[in-house]
Amino acid sequence: MKVFKKLTRIAEEKGGGYFVLIDPDTRKNDELKEFIKEICNRGVDAILVGGSLIIDGDFQSSLNLVKEASTVPIIIFPGSLQQLSPNADAILYISLISGRNPNYLFGDHVIAAPLIRKMGIEPISTGYMLFESGGTTTAEFISNTKPLPINKPEIAMAHALAAQYMGMNTVYLEAGSGADHSVPTKIVKAVSSYIDIPVITGGGIKTPDDARSKVEAGTTFVVTGNVLDDPENFELIDEFIRAIHFKEFS
Ligand code: 1GP
């Protein structure tokens, strides 16, 4: 069975699926390996690797390290065409549908498609929707697009439905990495109940309660990144898992 289908089934069984995002700038070498082993042992469902802007990190070597240490699927979350690797299991094949930048709607995709085919990794067609979140996020700045308003759920719903009608596998509701505020739960609920394809929600999720509210609102997957970078927060991982896999723990 294909990676995304499998993950969707797991999420349905557990209540929700939990993805942890690894930004190659943040963790290096041994520390990264240990972190990956630990989060896999604790029950994360998949690992995303990538970033809108990588400054000091090395995407390829980070991905290879993650691959060596991981027991769960590795999905590339590409910030650019440089972030491709045959060592991943799948890639979020992202169209930035909240924006109108042609390169991110159907431009880089043309260049990446033959490479992805050659690499033999699974493309997960993703309608990526960036939302206002209290400040300018890297994703917003780099993509030069305007985020969706958070006080107009109907705009988000129409975008998500268009993604479904265009045959995409999923929509990703994104507040931006390190966002002040996560995508409002009412938006997650409005979109999730309006479409039939799985929803991924990420950006600015800092507490297990917030993660749980997104799952209750209907998201299929929750993504966290920054929150676990602070070693003091590491133990939160178990709480995130309990909050997201709530069916297993109820
Ligand atoms: C960004 O959803 C991810 O796409 C993770 O965001 O680092 O804010 O958790 P955070």
Residue 248 has pLDDT above 70, yes or no: yes
Compute the distance from residue 178 Cα to the ligand 1 centre, in Å.
6
Ligand 1 near 21 CB (within 6 A): yes
- Region 9-35: what's the mean pLDDT? 92
What number does CATH give the domain 3-243?
3.20.20.390
Would you state the pLDDT for residue 1?
A: 58
Q: What are 135-173's pLDDT values in tens digits?
A: 898 888 989 999 999 999 999 999 999 999 999 999 999
The DSSP code sequence of 148-159 is BPSS-HHHHHHH
Ligand 1 near 182 CB (within 6 A): no
Ligand 1 near 202 CB (within 6 A): yes
To 10 degrees, the CA torsion angle through 194, 142, 70, 5? 30
Q: What are 33-70's pLDDT values in tens digits?
A: 999 999 999 999 999 999 877 777 789 999 999 999 99
Q: Hey, where are the domains in the chain?
A: 3-243
Burial class (CB in 10 A: 0-12, 13-18, 19+), 11: buried
% of the chain surpassing 90 pLDDT? 85
- The preferred substitution site among 224, 230, 236 for testing ligand 1, maximizing ligand atoms within 8 Å of CB, is 224
Task: Say which residue, 109 or 1, is predicted with more confidence.
Answer: 109
Ligand 1 near 178 CB (within 6 A): yes
- Region 117-129: what's the mean pLDDT? 98
Would you state the pLDDT for residue 219?
A: 98
SS3 75: strand
Q: pLDDT confidence of 210, banded at 50, 70, 90?
A: very high
% of the chain surpassing 70 pLDDT? 100
Task: Say which residue, 1 or 78, is predicted with more confidence.
Answer: 78
Q: Is residue 88 within 8 Å of 76, Cβ to Cβ?
A: yes
Compute the distance from residue 12 Cα to the ligand 1 centre, in Å.
22
Please name which of 230, 215, 135 lies closest in space to residue 175, comparing C-alpha atoms. Answer: 135
Q: What are 71-99's pLDDT values in tens digits?
A: 999 999 999 999 999 999 999 999 999 99
Please state, as a whole number, how many other Cβ atoms lie within 10 Å of the Cβ of residue 142.
Answer: 14
Would you state the pLDDT for residue 207?
A: 97
